[in-house]
Amino acid sequence: MPPAYLERNRHDLSAFLRQRRAQLAPEQFGLSPGAHRRTQGLRREEVAALAGVGLTWYTWFEQGRDIKVSAAFLDNVARALLLNPSERSYLYFLAGQPLATRLPGEGAFQPAPSLMRLMDGLELRPAYLKNLLWDVLYWNRAASFVFGDFDDIPPEDRNIAWLTFTDSRLRRTMADWEADAQRLVARIRADYVRSAGDARFRSLIDRLTETSADFRAMWEAQSVLESGAGVRLVNVERTGRVSFDYIICKIGEAEQLKLVIYAAQPDSPEGAAFLQHCASWMQQGASN
């Protein structure tokens, strides 16, 4: 009997392909929608024809059967379903042909002192460093002002994904929790694929799935996202709701660490108030 995670991969493969097929309109490919079409999106035979593969083989593949497919087959299916690069990597991963290499040992996740000094020098720009598993490795004082002191959290729970789906201060900072959480889950999936399904990552997903119904539902949505910048609304305890620009920087050649930096928009009243309150709080801490 195959390991449980391989069974889950087959289930996810079937769900992922069905969802992506349902999201495509026949008109996108010059196909007639048809007055009596009962299938939402494309039919299996249409995907098979667009991919140039046999219908029976594609049907078995979508059903998650234990069959072996080539890289050419996967590329053709990815092209037919208009998958983006992250989704294509996910397809390869679920098909048992991951494009990524496995995670290194824990020692590779230790931040360099120069990087910690750089983060401390950001002053009023909250910043934290996480690994591919979403564990928080280091944070500056501005991040403590906004998100709370990660030192107060047990090391085994000091994880952005875990804290997002538990009753934590970090969760309460999310002004639009549902939208933020959905994007986070899609990014977690992209990193899970990059880790080639590392056992430590599977353990995190299992823990979240067992603990949080919200995570379980969002994980089943099969979304994959890898983005590096945006805008977030954050509830700051001493200031109120603040709009932050943020950027995610990949660190090192292996890109196993990610530095997340937030910058309040100073032209807004809320941004100006945040900078004032954060500076005052940091000055009080320095004088104690």
Q: Are residues 169 and 275 in the same domain?
A: yes
Tokens of residue 270, six digits: 């809320």
Whether residue 100 is contained in a domain is answered as no
Q: CA-CA distance, 17 to 15, in Å (whole number)?
A: 6
Q: Are residues 24 and 124 in the same domain?
A: no
Q: Quick one: pLDDT at residue 197? A: 79
What tens digit of pLDDT does each residue of 128-146 get?
999 989 999 999 999 999 9
Q: Are residues 81 and 139 in the same domain?
A: no
pLDDT (mean) for 201-228:
90
Q: CA-CA distance, 186 to 178, in Å (whole number)?
A: 12
Q: CA-CA distance, 262 to 209, in Å (whole number)?
A: 29
What tens digit of pLDDT does each residue of 143-190 get?
999 999 999 999 889 999 999 999 889 999 999 999 999 999 999 998
Tokens of residue 30, six digits: 């010059």
Domain coverage including residue 246: 106-287
Q: Which residue has the higher pLDDT, 198 or 214?
A: 214
Predicted confidence band at 110 (pLDDT cuts at 50, 70, 90)?
confident
Cβ(183)–Cβ(221) below 8 Å: no
Q: Which residue has the higher pLDDT, 38 or 23?
A: 23
Residue the block writes with tokens 């290499």: 101
Q: Are residues 123 and 168 in the same domain?
A: yes
Determine the 3-state secondary structure of 206 from DSSP. Answer: helix
Is residue 123 over pLDDT 80? Answer: yes
Whether residue 28 is contained in a domain is answered as yes
Q: Are residues 156 and 64 in the same domain?
A: no
Is residue 1 over pLDDT 50? Answer: no
Whether residue 209 is contained in a domain is answered as yes
Least confident segment among 21-30, 59-68, 97-106, 156-165: 97-106
Tokens of residue 236, six digits: 């700051």
Q: Would you give the distance in Å from CA 93 to the centre of its chain?
A: 15
Q: CA-CA distance, 31 to 80, in Å (whole number)?
A: 13
Q: Are residues 118 and 249 in the same domain?
A: yes
What count of residues does the chain have?
Answer: 288
Predicted confidence band at 224 (pLDDT cuts at 50, 70, 90)?
confident
Whether residue 99 is contained in a domain is answered as no
Q: Quick one: pLDDT at residue 238? A: 83
- Mean pLDDT of all residues in the chain? 88
Whether residue 101 is contained in a domain is answered as no
One-letter identity of residue 248 = I
pLDDT (mean) for 186-199:
86
Is residue 254 over pLDDT 60? Answer: no
Q: CA-CA distance, 99 to 195, in Å (whole number)?
A: 9
Q: Which CATH number belongs to the domain containing residue 255 in this structure?
A: 3.30.450.180
Q: Are residues 154 and 55 in the same domain?
A: no
Q: What does the DSSP 8-state code read for residue 140?
A: -
Q: Are residues 132 and 244 in the same domain?
A: yes
DSSP line for 33-100? --TT--SSS--HHHHHHHHT--HHHHHHHHTT-S----HHHHHHHHHHTT--HHHHHHHHHHTT--SS
Q: Is 152 left (phi over 0), alpha (psi -120 to 50) or beta?
A: alpha
Q: Which residue has the higher pLDDT, 3 or 45?
A: 45
Q: Which CATH number belongs to the domain containing residue 59 in this structure?
A: 1.10.260.40
How many structural domains comprise the chain? Answer: 2
Q: Which of 70, 94, 118 is the last residue of a domain?
A: 94
Tokens of residue 144, six digits: 């403590």
Q: What radius of gyration, in Å, describes the C-alpha atoms of the chain?
A: 22
Of 221, 241, 220, nearest in space to 232 by CA = 241
Q: Which of 72, 94, 116 is the last residue of a domain?
A: 94
Q: Are residues 43 and 169 in the same domain?
A: no
pTM more than 0.85: no
Q: Are residues 163 and 43 in the same domain?
A: no
pLDDT (mean) for 244-271:
88
Q: Quick one: pLDDT at residue 46? A: 93
Q: Are residues 120 and 71 in the same domain?
A: no
Calculate what percentage of the chain has a pLDDT beyond 70: 91
Residue 168's contacts (CB-CB under 8 Å, 6 or more residues apart) are: 148, 153
Calculate what percentage of the chain has a pLDDT beyond 90: 59
